[in-house]
Structure 1
Amino acid sequence: MFAQDNNGLLNQEPKFTVRGSVIESDTKKPISNVNIEVNGGAYTTTDMFGDFRIEARRGDELTIRHKDFETVYYTIQSSERIKVEVQPNKEETKYSKLRKTSSTRLESFKPLIDSAEVYLKKDAKKSIQFIGDALTESTSAKENSEAYEVLGDVYLFWKQYDLAVSNYRISLQSRDGNAVRLKLAKAYRLNKNYQESLEVYNAIKKNELTNWQLIELYEGLGDVHFSTKAYQLAIDAYQEGLNVAKKHLITPKITDLNSKIAQAYNAKGETQKAKGFFNKSMQLANTENQTRAVEEKIKVADFENENNNFSDEIELRKEALNTISEIESDSVLENESPLTPQKQNYKIGNAYASQRDFPNAISYLQKSIVEADIKSDLIVQKDATRKLSEVYRDAGQFDKALLAYQDYVELVDKLYAKKEQEISQAARFSKDIISKQNRISSLESDRELSESKYELSIEQAKRQKLIIYSLIGGVLLLLITAFLMFKYIKQQRLANNLLALKSLRSQMNPHFIFNALNSVNSFIASNDERTANKYLTDFSLLMRAVLENSEQDFIPLEKEIELLQLYTKLEHFRFQDKFDYTIKVDENIKVEDFVIPPMLLQPYIENAVWHGLRYKKSKGQLTINITQNKPDEIKITIADDGIGREKSKALKTENQQKQNSKGMGNIKKRVAILNDMYRDKVDVFIDDFQDEEDTGTKVVVTLKKD
C-alpha cells in the first residue's frame, strides 16, 4: 500500500524534458545508441553526438545502459542538464560518473543556454541576451541549433509566433530533429500558417518518434484541424493520439485528449457526445491532482455555459471554487490563470444574470470585484464592475448602476495606465508593442461600447443626463486620443534616437581597428613577431571591452578610464618615439558615482596622437586629467603639445579632410543626441593648448552626475 501511495504521489508531479549527454571520460568522444530509460516507461537512445532528451517527473529513476560500460542509475530532481562520463572496455576498473554539465563544463556555451532557459518565462530580454552571448561562444552546428531552438522557445512563450517560426527553421538548418520539428509545426499553427503546420506534421516519420512525441503529433494535427473548423478530422486525429496514450498508459494525455474530443464534438454541434467525453475527462482528471481536476471542471462549466445550462454551470463553478481555495493555501495562482477565484465568481455572477437572478448575480459580482481588487487583477475587476452596472440597470437600480459605471470608467483608466507601462517595458519587441497598442485600442472600443449601452439604459429616465455624459465621454475620448498620440510620438522619437546612437557607435570602431591592424602588419613585415603578438594581446583586450559596452548608452566612469589607459598604452606602443603621456585622476573623485558614453574620449585621444603629436619634430606630451570642481560634475581634460589643428589640417589631403570632418561630426551628433535624451549631460569644449609655434590642442569634456 505504501508503494501504491508513493506511485500515486509521483504521478501527480508534472512532466518535464531532461536533456543530457553520454561521453567517454578520457577522450571526451560522444557515445551513440546508449539506452536511456525512465522507470515510468519513457525510452530513447543517444544520437550520434551522444545527446538525448526524455520526458520524466521529479523522483523518476533514470537508467543508462550500454554494452561497453557499467549501467548507471540516477534519480531525477529537476529539469537539469546532465552529463554521464564513462570509462569503457576496462573490466576490472570500469566505472561511471554522473554530474551536471552546468557546474563542470569548462566551455561557457552550456551555462549561457541554461541561464537563457531559467529566464525564459521571467525576463525575455535577459533570456535573449544570454542566447546571443551563447551564440558567440558556439563552436559547432549542434550548439547553434540548440541556441536557436531555445530562442524559438522564448518567442513561442512570449507569443511572438512568427519569430518563433524563423528561429526553429534556422535551428533545423543546423541540425535536424523531430523535437524541433514538432515545435515548428506548433508555432506555424499558432501563427495561423495552418497548411505549413500540416506539411511539417505529415512529413515527420512516426516510427522515429517516442510515444510521447507521437501523441504530441496527433494532438497537434487535431489542433490544426480544429482551428480550420474541420472538426471530424480533428476528432479522428485526437482519437489516434488517445489510442496511443491508452496503450502506453500515459494518463495526463488521456485526460487532455478526451477533453479536446469533447470540445470538437461540441463545436460540431453534437452536444451529447461532447458531454460523454467531458464526463470521462473529469473522471480521469480527478485521479491526477487537484489542479488538473479543477481545470477540467472549469472547461465543462464553459461547455454548459455555451449550451445555456446555467444551473449546471453554476454548480460546477461553485465546486471548483472550493477546490481553488485549497490549491491557494499551498501555492499562489497568477492572475493570468483561469483558476483564479475572481474569474469564477465573475462567471457565476454572469450565469445568475443570464437567469435574471439579480440578487445572486450582484452578490457574486461583488465578490469577484473584491477578490480582484485584493489581487490587483484589473481586467477581471473592470469586467465584473461593468457587468454589475448592467445588472443594476436591468434590476431597475439606476443610481447604483451609475455609481458602478463610474467605477468602471476609473478602472479602465487604471488598466490603461498599466498597459502603457507594459508597452514601455517591452519596447524592444516591436510586435509586442503593436499587440499592446491593440489591447489599448480594444479597451477604448470597449469603453465606447459600454458608454453607448449605458446612455441607452438611462435615456428613459433623464434625457438631459444623456447629453451631458455624451459630451463628457467625447471630451475624455479626445483627451485620451491626444495623450496616446503624444506618447506614440515620444516613443518613436526615443526609438529613432537609440537607432541613431547605435549607428554612430558602429561607425566609430572600424577606423581604429583599421589603424591597429596596419600597425600589426608593419610589425609582422619587419619580422617583429614578439612585438606583434604583444600588441595583439592588448588590442584584443581593448576590443573585447569595447564590444561588451557597445550596446550601452552609458558605462561607469571607472570602466571608461580603464579603456583610456589601455587605448593610450596601445597608441604609445606604436609611437613611443613621438610622445609620452600621463593620466591623472583626482583622488577625491568617486568614480563609481559617474557614468559616461562608451568610447566618447577615444576619438579625441586618437586625433591628438595621429594629427598632432605624430607630426611634431620633437617628442611631445599627452596629458589626460580628470578633476572635480563641483559636487555634481567632473571635467576631463585631454591636452597635447602637438602641431595644432591648423597645421594638421594643412598637411591632409582633400580626402583625409573629408574623413576627419565626418569623424568629428559623428562625435558632435552623438553628444547632441545624448544631451537631447538625458538633458545636457555632456559638454565638449575644444581650443588651442598654448601660444607657442606648436599650438597643440586642448579638449575639455564636462560630465554631469545623474
Structure 2
Amino acid sequence: MDHLHFTKRYFFHAILIPLMVFNASLKAQDSKIESLASQGYSYRFTDSAKAKQMLNNALLLARKSNSKKDEAICLAFLALTYRRLNSPKEFNNYAEQAYKISSQTNDERAKAYAYMVMGNLKSYFDENTAALNYQLQANTLFEKHKNYALCAQICADISYSFSLSSDDRVEKYVREAMKHAQQSSNAESILHARLAMGSYLTGLTDKHADNISLWENSVQFLKQTADYASVNNNRIPSKSNIAISHLNLAALLIRRPKLMDGMLFTRQLDTAIAISKKYNVKVTYRNSLGLRGKYLLYQGEYSRAKKMFLEGIAYQLRLPYKDHEILAQFYASLKEVAASEKDYSSYYRYDQSFSKYNRLTYDETMQRNLQLAEIKFESAEKIRKIKQLENEKLLQEKNKNLGYVISLILLVIVIFIFISFYYRKRFYQKQADNLKQQQINDQLKLNLLEKDSLENLLAKLSLERRFLQSQMDPHFIFNCLANIQSIILKDDRTKALTYLNKFARLTRETLYHSRKESVTLQEETANLKSYIELQQLRLNHSFDYSIEFADDINMDEKIPPLLIQPLVENAIEHGLKPLSHRKGNLVITFTKKSMEQVLICVIKDNGIGMEASQTGKQKNKHDPLAIKIIDERLALYAKNDSGERIPHFTSQSSGDGCTITINIPIV
C-alpha cells in the first residue's frame, strides 16, 4: 500500500467530524431552554452521557412550558448527538420529530434548525438531493436572520457533499462558507469554513499530483489555518477541530515526503497529540499515531514505525466503538514494515489480520447498509400509516359533510317542487281569466307606454320576465330528477352521487340566474356547460359537445338568462339520445350583429332529426310550452326601431340532425 492512500484515509477521518458539528451558541439565545440544550450539546465529544442527560432535561422543560420552538431545537440537538454516537435509529427518530414539531410553529428559527438536521439526516443516508434541498432552506432562513455563523457551517457541510462529484460546486460553497464566516466574526465558524477550504485544496493536490506550486499553496493555507486555531484556542469550543487543523496539515505534508518540512510535520503531530490528550479527543490521537508511523516508515526507522502502528492498534481496540477499516490500514502499514525488514513470518501474520479486518469492514458496511435500509423502510412505513390515517379521517369528514349537503339539497328540492306545483296550479286556475283579459292588458300596456315613465315601464317588463322564467324551472327540475332516479335504480352509487352533486350546483346556479334580469354571456354559457355535462354523465358520454365564439364576441355582454338550455335539452333528448349507430355531436356557436345589438346562437346536432323524432313519438309534451315561453320572453326584447317583431327562431332538419338559430337581444 502506498503512502498517499494511507494519508487519504487519515485525512478523511479528520474532516468527518466537522460534518457533524454546528454550534447553537453562536448567536444570542432566545430562551434559557435553548441555552441549556446548547450547553448539553457541547459535551457530545467529551462526555456523551452528560450531553444526553442535559438535552433530555431541556426537552422535558420545553414540553412542560409548551414551547414548540424550544422543543424542535432540543430534538435537533438530540438527533445530532446520536449521530455523533453512531446510532442511526435514534438519529432518524429525533430528526423526524424535530421536523414534525417545527411544522407546528411559525417560528423561523425552529424551522431553520429542523431543516439543518434533516439535511444532515439525508446526507447520512446518502440522499444527497434531499439533503441539499433541506440545507439550502436552512441557509436561507439563517441568512435572513443574519445568523452568518450557522450559514458558514451549513455551506461548509454542503461543500463536503459535493467532494466526490463536482469541484466547481465544492469551490462555490467553500467560498460561501468563508464569506459568511468572516461576516460572523466567530472563531468557531471561521475555523469550520477554513477546514472545508483546506479539504477542497487537498483534493485538488491529489488530482494534480505534478503541480508542486498548488501543493505548496495548499500547505501554506493549512498552516495559516492551524496557526489561527492555536491563536484562538480559547474562542473555539470544539477542541477536536483545533486538533484536526494540525492533523490535516501533517496529512497534506506527508503526501510529498521528499518536499515536506520534517520539523513542521513533527510539530503539527505533537500539537495534535497534545490537544487530543488534553481534551480526550480519541480519534485525532489515534490518527496522529498512524501518521507518525508512516513518517518513521518513510525515514527507514522500521522498529519505531512498527511500535507506532502497534500502539495505534492497541489504542483503537480500547475505544468503545469499532473501526475495522482503520485497523485494516494499521495492519497494512505493518505489512510494509515487515516487507522492508524481510520478516516474512510477521508479514504473513499481519496479512491474516489485515484480511480479517478487511472482511469485517465489508460485513460492517453491509450491516450498516441493511440497518439504514431498515430505518428508511420503517420511516416510509410510518409516513404511509400517518397519511392513511389522515386520508381516512378526511374521508370520514367528507362523507359526513356530503350527507349534510345531500340532505340539504333534497330538502331544497322538495320545497322548490312544492312551491313550483303550488304556483303552477294557481297559474292554470287563472289562465282562462288571463286569456280573456289579454286584449284589455294589451291596450293597457299601450296606454302605459304613453303615460308611464321609462323607469316604471322597465320595472313592469322585469316583473313579466321573472313571471315567464318561473314557468321554465319546474320543467327543468322534473327532467333532472328523472335522470337521477334512473341512475339510482341502476344501483350506480358513485355515479348517482356525482350526478347529484352536479345537479345541486346547477340548480343553485339556475335559481341564482332566475332572480336576475340579465346575466353575462360568460355566466350563461357556464351554466349551459354544467347542464350538458350532466346529460353526458347520464347518457354515458354517448355524445360530444363544443361551444364556439366568434372573435368579436364580448363575454361580458348582458343577455336574458336561461334562454338556451331548453333548446339544448330538446336537441339532446330528441335528437342525440335515440342515436344507436354513431356517436352524437352537439355544436353551439355564437356570433354577433353589432348594428342590431343581437347575438346569434346556432344549436346544431347530428341526431335523428325532427321528422324521425315525431314519427317515433319521442317529442316531449313540455316542448311546445318551453318554446312558447322562450318566444314570449324574447318578444319583450326583440323589437326593431319600427316596432316590428324580429324573428326569434329558425330551424332546419334533415336525416342527420337538426339546426336551430335563435336571435338573442343584448340588454
TM-score category, normalised to shorter length: 0.3 to 0.5
TM-score, structure 2 normalization? 0.45
Which structure has the bigger radius of gyration? 2
TM-score, structure 1 normalization? 0.43
Q: Which has the higher contact order (CA 8 A, sep 6+)?
A: 2
Q: Which has the higher strand share?
A: 1
